[in-house]
Amino acid sequence: DLVPEFAEIDKTNPNCVVLGDAAENFTYANLNKAFQLLIGMEKPVLISLGKGRYYKETDGLKLDVGAYMKALEYACDIQAEVVGKPSKRFFESALAELGVPPEQAIMIGDDIVNDVGGAQQCGMRALQVRTGKYRPSDENHPEVKPDAYVNNLAEAVDIILQEL
């Protein structure tokens, strides 16, 4: 829950809208409030903490932040600044924090675009796991091709250990 992180910020005269993983707080009312704030700004700024289309919960797939970001981009005729996956800056920041060069890092993810594609665009290898929100159609993605597909995390670890 990121809401407490923004508790100290003065919201009386906003200069941007930050869109994150709000789960049950992604409502029409909240989306419309974000739209009204952005459309009322002279130079609207939309910052999105990700670009995911959907994610998986125990009760099924749910719309992710990217769907709401795209709605606001379209309605306000603006381009969001994405600071989470698949942003190259996001992956570079994580690598810098760990002190690991990209060629020595491997991303394991269930999202062909945000996990695999994001990692590969900064020089990392990436494995797509066939769990979570993976769909068989991911294997026919026109642009993103993982270094390997794995059926689960244990198989991913086996592949990584074989290559080391």
- 48 vs 41: CA distance, rounded Å: 17
Contact 115, 146 (CB under 8 A): no
The per-residue pLDDT string of the chain (164 residues; one tens digit each, 9 = 90 and over) reads 677 888 888 888 999 999 998 788 889 999 999 999 999 999 999 999 999 999 999 999 999 999 999 999 999 999 999 999 999 999 999 999 999 999 999 999 999 999 999 999 999 999 999 999 999 999 999 999 999 999 999 999 999 999 86
Q: What's the confidence (pLDDT) of residue 164?
A: 60
CATH class of the domain at 88-163: alpha beta
- 22 vs 29: CA distance, rounded Å: 13
Please say whether the structural domain 3-82 has been given the CATH code 3.40.50.1000. yes
List the chain domain ranges.
Answer: 3-82, 88-163
For 52-83, the pLDDT digits (tens) are 999 999 999 999 999 999 999 999 999 999 99
On the CB side of 27, CA atoms within 13 Å amount to 5
What's the DSSP call for residue 47? E
For 43-58, the pLDDT digits (tens) are 999 999 999 999 999 9
